[in-house]
Amino acid sequence: MLPFFTNPYPDELLYSSIARYHFYSGNLDCKDTLEELFGSRSVISSIEIGSHFLILAEKLGGHYSIENILANHTIYPYYAMFLSKERQQEISQDVAEGGQGLYARLGIVAGSICRKEGLYYCTSCAKGDVEQYGEPYIHREHQLQGIDYCPHHEVPLRKYPVTPNVVSRIEFIRFEIEQMDLVHIYEVDPYAEIKIHLAKQSYKLLQQPLHLLSRQDVSQKYLGLLRDLKLVTSSNRIRQKELYEKFKQKLSVDLLAQFESVVDVADEYNWLKVLTRNMKRHVHPFRHLLMLYFLEQDIDDFIDLKTDIGPFGKGPFPCLNRAASHYQKLVIPSVEVTRDFKTNAPIGTFKCVCGFIYARKGPDKSSEDCSRIGRVKQFGHVWQGKLKQLAEDDLSIRAITRELGVDSKTVKRYLSNSVEIRKEASELNQELMAKYKQEIVKIIQKFPQLPRTKLREKCKKQYIFLYRHDKEWLLDVLPF
């Protein structure tokens, strides 16, 4: 356990507090400092995040945990929310140990944009730090890729004149007030308002609990917001062309070019498509901030936003057939979603095994909506069987409508259809009966010597039909 340590200031990078420790400990060789903190002289000092946190936490005597250091004194929370759950777990393991592959997992190497060469500071923050703590320090919010303004004072960031890793990879740079230009600068920037907004949103990312959300959660929230903008098809596909058109209306190509984030529409894997699709590829957090700006979402509100579960929620869904024993029970496993060709609103169709099919226009806005029928497409065999039973029990039309939850016109129409069907069937049977009788008589006349069993083999179809519908006539006409 260390006899003392320069405890990090609010939002100070761990690297910065180690640099202060190196200065106040009086160590001349940075390797001595590394050995005291990490138990190794070969650890490479990392500015943005770092590694070997398990050993460091032990050296600090339990005052800091791995999670505490990672959440409060690295830039990792800037990336965390937009990483898959698997990658979040891998990075937690990386920082605890040697850190191999850490930056590749974050995408800082291959997919990085707006790289910052050197360290940055805000003149107002530096002055405030000196007044409050007696010295300036390296704020993590000023080192984020893509962020050019201080989220607190809304002024452009300045580059510190000493650049890390120029002389040696094993070195520590401590901010010194004498090296800083503290004169306020006023620059004409047509995009200052947007950049300041993005800086404030990035700082809010740093304040979120680690792994509160993952990329999977973020994707579902995007889906819901894009659905509200009518940019999602009934099959949950993003209307990419329409999205791009709306996106470039909100964010100019010139601004996107400044941040190396111009969308190449010809590229099937441009960052806007990758960001809105369920793909394994990750997108830089700054581009997620651009997306959230387009969607007019504040980080806090976005985190509280309910995950998208489709315009009608997740199944199972209730059967609303009053004639069924499972009425209002959750027995319909899924919903078929289409679009209204006039309004583009989602239409949900719910099909039950009892034959009852109903539909309604969405999206559902309350829990009561799931018990609402817009239109019955098909009543089904269970409902029609119940209607027949009620009619045979001599219930009035009004009583039947109450029982089945439909209007009187529907009851009359289906009862009328049922009578017509029976009537048509009866007429058809009479025609067949006359025809088959004639055919049997002709066969008997043609083969007068054949017994009944042999005649039956020659006219099986006619025999079976007449046996069912006029057995008395059939037995009377056939020979023994």
* pLDDT tens by residue, 238-274: 999 999 999 999 999 999 999 999 999 888 889 999 9
Give the pLDDT confidence of 138-189 residue by residue, as tens digits.
999 999 999 999 999 999 999 999 887 655 567 889 999 999 998 877 778 9
pLDDT (0 to 100) of residue 109: 57
Predicted pLDDT at 73: 96
Last residue within a domain, chosen from 273, 304, 335: 304
Residue 414 confidence (pLDDT): 85
| Domains identified in the chain, total number | 4
Do 50 and 144 fall within a single domain?
Answer: yes
**Looking at the predicted structure, is the pLDDT value of residue 62 above 80?**
no
| Top-confidence residue, 160 or 106 | 160
Location of structure tokens 């996106």: 247
Choose between 4 and 121: higher pLDDT.
Answer: 121
* pLDDT for 110 beyond 60: no
- Report the distance separating Cα 236 and Cα 334, nearest Å: 14
> Would you give the end-to-end CA distance of the chain in angstroms?
114
Both 452 and 399 in one domain: the answer is no
Most confident of 10-14, 52-56, 84-88: 10-14
Query: Is residue 350 one of the residues assigned to a domain?
Result: yes
Per-residue pLDDT at 237 exceeds 80: yes
Percent over 70 (pLDDT), the chain: 95
Q: Are residues 61 and 39 located together in one domain of the fold? A: yes
- Among 153, 179, 205, residue at a domain's last position: 179
> Which structural domain range is residue 249 located in?
213-304
Same-domain status, 132 and 153: yes
pLDDT of residue 16: 96
Place of tokens 């006219």: 459
- Domain membership flag for residue 186: no
Beta-ladder partners of 120: 159
- Strand, helix or coil at 146? coil
Q: Please give the angle made by the CA atoms of 220, 222 and 226, to the nearest 5 degrees.
A: 120
What's the pLDDT score for residue 424? 47
Same domain, 445 and 366: no
How confident is the model over 4-30, as a mean pLDDT?
Answer: 94
Q: What is the C-alpha separation between 326 and 330, in angstroms, rounded? A: 8
Domain co-membership, 329 together with 242:
no
> Mean pLDDT for the chain?
88
Range from 65-79, 110-124, 415-429 that averages highest in pLDDT = 65-79
Per-residue model confidence (pLDDT) at position 274: 92
Q: What is the mean pLDDT of residues 33-39?
A: 91
Distance CA 273, CA 266 (A): 11
Can you list the alpha helix ranges (DSSP code H) found in 229-298? 240-250, 253-258, 271-276, 285-294
pLDDT number for residue 275: 93
pLDDT the model gives residue 169: 66
Q: Is the pLDDT of residue 421 over 50?
A: no
Distance CA 478, CA 456 (A): 9
| Cβ-based burial of 193 (10 A; exposed 0-12, middle 13-18, buried ≥19) | exposed
Residue 415 within any structural domain of the chain = no
Residue 4 in any domain: the answer is no
Residue 426: pLDDT band (50, 70, 90) is low
Residues 295 and 323 in one domain: no
Question: Do 43 and 175 sit in the same domain of this protein?
Answer: yes
For range 315-340, the mean pLDDT? 92
Q: Are residues 289 and 363 in the same domain?
A: no
19 plus 145 within the same structural domain: yes
Cα–Cα distance, 24 to 6 (Å, whole number)? 8
Give the integer Cα–Cα distance in Å for 262 and 258: 9
Domain boundary among 373, 404, 435: 404
260 token code pair: 């190396």
- Give the model's pLDDT for residue 425: 47
Residues 300 and 329 in one domain: no
C-alpha span between 84 and 89 (Å, rounded): 9
What CA–CA distance (Å, rounded) separates 81 from 209? Answer: 10
pLDDT band at 25 (very low <50, low <70, confident <90, very high): very high
Q: Give the pLDDT confidence score for residue 78 in this predicted structure.
A: 96
Checking DSSP bridges between strand 336-339 and strand 330-332, what pairing results, if any?
A: unpaired
How many helices (DSSP H) and strands (DSSP E) are in the chain? 21, 8
Question: Model confidence over 366-414: pLDDT tens digits?
Answer: 888 999 999 999 999 999 999 888 888 878 888 888 999 899 888 888 8
Nearest to 247 by CA among 216, 266, 271: 271
Confidence band (pLDDT; 50, 70, 90) for 364?
A: confident
| Helix, strand or coil, per DSSP, at residue 232 | strand
Q: What is the mean pLDDT of residues 194-214?
A: 96
Residue for token pair 């400990």:
25
